[in-house]
Amino acid sequence: MYQDNNHCNGDPLFIESVAAATTPWTRLEDKVFEQCLVLFPEGISDRWEKIAEQIPGKSAKEVEQHFHMLVYDVYEIDAGRVQVPQYADDSVMLSQGWDSQNQISFVSKSKHHGEGERKKGTPWTEEEH
């Protein structure tokens, strides 16, 4: 698990002050932000500036602060102190073939519920490939 010991050290007061200093993020901005974290991985020069260029109205500082808040939130969820949030569009994902762990399911609904369900860690059969 990633921990950023240089910035917040898990300090709730730091997180609260960062949250107060930033403008609210929309769900769309969060999605773009998450995609940019993959496109511009850790260690890339000017990472926060490059991500901010993709999110209109957000500065590099706001993007970096948002990242540290995300890391803190993930840490709190992993520690069991906070439940995973439910979003309005989660029900849409479930109805479009996503399973309960927010992983896409490639099995038809009739087959998924009828036959024995695949267990995690079980290798794929030739038919499934």
Backbone angles phi, psi at 49, to 5 degrees: -65, -40
Domain assignment present for 111: no
pLDDT confidence of residue 27: 92
Number of C-beta neighbours around residue 9 at 10 A: 10
Please write the tens of the pLDDT for every residue from 20-39.
556 799 999 999 999 999 99
Domain assignment present for 2: no
Domain assignment present for 1: no
Distance, in Å, from the CA atom of 35 to the CA atom of 39, rounded to the nearest integer, reads 6
pLDDT confidence of residue 126: 78
pTM: 0.53
Q: DSSP 3-state helix, strand, coil percentages of the chain (rounded to 5)?
A: 50, 0, 50
Residue 18, pLDDT > 50, answer yes
Domain assignment present for 34: yes
pLDDT confidence of residue 123: 76
**Domains identified in the chain, total number:** 1
Q: Which amino acid is at 31?
A: K
Distance, in Å, from the CA atom of 118 to the CA atom of 108, rounded to the nearest integer, reads 13
pLDDT confidence of residue 4: 46
Q: Give the total residue count for the chain.
A: 129
Confidence of residue 2 (pLDDT cuts 50, 70, 90): very low
Domain assignment present for 41: yes
Q: Which domain holds residue 68?
A: 27-79
Q: Which residue has the higher pLDDT, 65 or 113?
A: 65
Q: What is the CATH number of the domain that holds 68?
A: 1.10.10.60
> Of the given ranges (6-10, 24-28, 90-94, 125-129), which has the lowest mean pLDDT?
6-10
Domain assignment present for 68: yes
Domain assignment present for 58: yes
Residue 119, pLDDT > 90, answer no
Domain assignment present for 10: no
